[in-house]
Amino acid sequence: MITLIQRVSQANVAVAGEVIAEIGRGLLVLVGVARGDTQREAERLAERVLRYRIFADGEGRMNLSVREVKGAVLLVPQFTLVADTSGGLRPSFSSAAPPGLGASLFAHLVAQIRASAVPCACGRFGADMQVTLTNDGPVTFWLEAEAREP
């Protein structure tokens, strides 16, 4: 699993012109599920997202997690993150998980974040979504989850 996380002051997701999810201060997390990913990768990724220290402490250093600043998480499925762009002028999506597996692992990731008691909203798997955000910083990181112990 791959994520692109962005520290935001606000973000929302709309489908067909209707806002279906929104947060204030927190993390917008774009999520790509690859072939071969398992629930373990989703669990590891949830842990990393919740513990990743990218919010400023009292001295202005990136030293606090979304949980510590009482922020929220907005998860948005985005299969294009796992595209192979190494050749040609068109991306290949053969490395993306099949839709059923992708939806299942995205749902597992959502459940893991929600179980942490950090407020969590999410986009709709397979939908054409419009994502609006105010990137705070800007601060953006690419995180991957490997099935290993922290």
Task: Judge contact between 13 and 129, C-beta under 8 A.
Answer: yes
Residues marked active site are found at 78-80
Q: What is the 3-state secondary structure (H, E, C) of the chain?
A: CEEEEEEEEEEEEEECCEEEEEECCEEEEEEECECCCCHHHHHHHHHHHHHCCCEECCCCCEEECCCCCCCEEEEEECHHHHCECCCCCCCECCCECCHHHHHHHHHHHHHHHHHCCCCEEECCCCCCEEEEEEEEEEEEEEEECCCCCC
